[in-house]
Structure 1
Amino acid sequence: MAEVLETVPGRGGELVLRRDGTVFEVIENGVFLMDTRNGESERLLVTGAADRLAPGARILIGGLGVGFSLRAALDHGSVGEAVVVEREPAVIRWNRGGPLREVHDGALDDPRVRVVEGDLIEWLRTTGETFDALCLDIDNGPEWTVTEGNTSLYTDSGLERLGQLLRPGGVLAVWSAGAAPEFTARLRERFEDVDVVAVPVPRGEPDVIWFARNS
């Protein structure tokens, strides 16, 4: 039976960190959000983008999660700097010095990492920074968002803004818990060389990651 380690009010509602044996789980408003069971597709989100980039790349990771993507970024030879945007203070705390730290071997301590506490949608709207890759994992998918406000990220205008923040030849990578054909079509209207990668999971339909090259 899972042990509740902490329950806190979050920006998106109640957040619960619990442990089931050696596995950590994060629940938001009673809905499963993430865990440490596998992480293959979360790692591929970053490594697949970095494989398409030259060494010294500057990447943005939208959503800290349990640190799988950040650890993969730091272990990749092409990544020179990683900016992580996470809206939930508790998730940052659990990763920085709490029980999730052991999952990624203290990745937040790496000098190449900068953590921004804030809502990714708002941050993307106002930032003047540019990146070689945008790796986004803040929802269960373009058609299954954690909050209603996140839907704007996956619209034509949202994709146009993401393209503006990418350097020439940069890569947009988006994670999803399932296929989203309409989103694929929108990506192909805005970006070049759109690859759709299905990642098998133990149960249910495969996770999906899109990699789209900026012109």
Structure 2
Amino acid sequence: MKHAALLGVVAGCTLLAGSAFTVHAGVESAAVRLKTGVAEAARPAIAIASDAEAPYCTPAFKQVLQRVLNACGLTGTESRRGCQPADVKNLAAISDDDFNALFTPLRERGAVIMFDDASEKLDDDAKALIEDRWLDRRGARYYFVVARASKTGTPEYNRTLSHKRANSVMFDIADKFKEPDLDKKVGLLWLGNEFAQLGKDYCAWNVSRKNRACTAEAINRSAFVSWVDCQL
């Protein structure tokens, strides 16, 4: 009888200890959820989009990209958040060819938004392509809008025209998506016809006017848009 009672006490203690361990584990798990908002088992085992980088984000690419971001006031708290030709050429210390090469890896990622001659107005195809590229964010931090103008007209006129084209893209995004702090995500560069003109080979990129003739003049009446998937 005493032996049976002793066994009952031991079993009861074991059950109590097991319950205490379960409660302790449950409390720890709850603490993790309260602190992080995610259960431990639900945490992703692989990097999420914002932690990943595209293969083109080489050290050399990121170095040049950082210079452009700094020159255009896109990495700090400056009120100036954009670049004109002199900023890119002098502050970023980059040549025309090197600047265009910077965006070559983004051929499939981005798009070329086309404009009519002497116009900054977006047509329906342009708006649809801007929306498509904006929604394909994949966790990227910066969205570039690089606007140009053809060689027709004076440098001053084309600099202003390309600035208007960059703003047209920005205003379209702002109107559609109502995102806060949009100016901290979108980098505007307006190059006029003074810097980094595109060659006709860019007509083979993802352009907004696929069914129209594309010439060296036409491809520079444009704004290149793309997210950049690099952590800086």
| Relative contact order, higher structure (CA 8 A, sep 6+) | 2
* TM-score of the aligned structures, taking structure 1 as reference length: 0.28
Per residue, is there more helix in 1 or in 2? 2
